[in-house]
A = this chain, B = another copy of it.
Amino acid sequence: MKLFSSVNDVTDIKQLVASALALKANPYAHSDLGKNKTLGLVFMNPSLRTRLSTQKAALNLGMNVMVMNMDKEGWALETQDGVIMNGTTVEHIREAAAVMGEYCDVLGLRSFPKLQNREEDYNEEFFNKFVKFCGVPVVSLESATRHPLQSLADLVTIHETWETYRIDAKAKPKVVLAWAPHIKPLPQAVPNSFAEWMSRAQAEGMLDFTIAQPEGFELNENFTSGAKISHDLDEAIADADYVYVKNWSSYKEYGKLLDFPEGWMMDNEKLKLTSNAKVMHCLPVRRDLELASEILDGPNSLVIHEAGNRLWSAQAVLKAMLEEIK
């Protein structure tokens, strides 16, 4: 694997999930694979889970890790071509990316959207230029429109736990992505990515996938093909085995904080409508705004388990990259 930015970069998602779970069972089985190889983690934005889990994944494979908080420790970057750089940006991404590629064997990049210009964000200008100019394999640590390490960890979590939670002879789990309230306009990266991974998993017969959101919060259709889509949360979560809670802002009314109807926060009352569903969230989560504390602190929450799986997902991806570098 030379690029991990979306589900489309993965030939066989079942194999990648299996690799993550094999690494979880035996974390240090490949601790020589990364010898003398260096991972550079480049952050344009804050990070907790991604920062630590990806570092740890690389260390488990014997890699060195260098962290670059580009927003604080480096130089303000220009991304536009053809501009005279006589303003506030000090370095062009063409040089910055190429230079980082000189010192690292694999690079990870986090670059959030600005949520001001939809076309610009959805073109993934920053991420794609970084990939183009750095010249080494790149792992997305969340870009403007996707967060694939999160989605892989989510799929790993569902696949790993389904045998334990399966009720009767139900063939495959029903997974629901459920929109949740928030006070700020958030990116669509996590739900986009979750949707495209779950759609692919559905296509491969691993699960059934439904998305529930209020009208006006429809995701870009490129990510949701094959998903059942509902505007009625209660109906959508009926018989659900996994409910993936997440806020996102409107794609249509891009960057705006729209009004939204009541009744979209998952709590124990709503949980009763499901098939004793396990509740997931990518974190960070705002308690009792996005998701009820009673769920987070109760037996149905998978959020910490899911965060733990970020490690094995990152390790599986790095392992696949290292195998091609060798």
Contact = CB atoms under 8 A, between A and B. Distances in A.
A222 interface: no
Interface string A12-42: 0000000000000001100100001010100
A52 B86 contact: no
Interface string A82-97: 1111100111101110
Contact of A53 (B48, B103, B289, B293): B103
Main SS class of interface, A: mixed
B56 A311 contact: no
A40 to B, nearest CB: 7
Interface stretch (A65-73, A198-206, A244-252): A65-73
A169 to B, nearest CB: 33
Contacts of A183: 86
A197 to B, nearest CB: 21
A91 B283 CA distance: 8
A99 interface: yes
A285 interface: yes
B304 A95 contact: yes
A288 B74 CA distance: 21
Given A38-B59, A43-B73, A46-B74, A288 B91 contact: no
Given A40-B52, A68-B48, A102 B311 contact: yes
Contacts of A59: 38, 64
Given A102-B304, A287-B84, A96 B48 contact: yes
A104 interface: yes
B99 A283 contact: yes
A78 B307 contact: no
Interface residues of A, number: 63
Contact of A311 (B27, B81, B103): B103
Contacts of A159: none
A66 B52 contact: yes
**Interface-central residue, A31, A38, A102, A183, by most chain B CB under 10 Å:** A102
B85 A286 contact: yes
A308 interface: yes
Given A31-B36, A48-B74, A51-B74, 18 more contacts: A46-B73, A46-B74, A48-B100, A51-B66, A56-B66, A56-B104, A84-B287, A84-B288, A85-B286, A85-B287, A89-B286, A90-B286, A91-B284, A94-B297, A95-B296, A99-B283, A102-B308, A102-B311
12 contacts: A36-B60, A38-B56, A40-B52, A46-B73, A51-B68, A51-B73, A56-B66, A84-B287, A91-B283, A91-B285, A95-B307, A103-B311
